[in-house]
Amino acid sequence: MNKIDLYPGQRKSSRAVATISKGTGKVRINNIPAELLNSEVARELVLVPLKLIGDYRDKVDISVKVHGGGFMGQAFASTVAICRALTG
C-alpha cells in the first residue's frame, strides 16, 4: 500500500476523492478530522464504513477531498469514496 490510489465518489452534484495509506486510523475530510464535522448525521454517515471494518480502521489513514453540493450530498459522496478505498 505504498503507492497512492484515488477512489472517487459522487452524489448529485457533490464529488469526493479518497486516498488511503498505512497509518494510525486518522480520517480527514478536507483536512479536518471527521470527528469534528458540524452535522452529527453527516459525521455518523461518513464513519459508518469504518465501524463495519473493525480493527482494520486502526491500520490505515484515509483522506477525502470533497466539493460541490450541500453538506449531506458531500457526506454521501465521502461515504462512497471511503467504501471504494476500503474495498479497492
Phi, psi of 17 (to 5 degrees): -130, 125
Q: Cell numbers for 87, please give them.
A: 474495498
Type of residue numbered 49: P
β-strand partners of 85:
none
Phi, psi of 57 (to 5 degrees): -60, -35
Percent of the chain exceeding pLDDT 90 equals 90
What's this model's pTM, rounded to 2 decimal places? 0.92
pLDDT digits (tens, 9 = 90+) for 26-60: 999 999 999 999 899 999 999 999 999 989 999 99
Residue ranges of domains in the chain, CATH in brackets? 7-87 (3.30.230.10)
Residue 17: alpha-carbon gap to chain centroid = 8
pLDDT band at 2 (very low <50, low <70, confident <90, very high): low
pLDDT of the residue at 70:
95
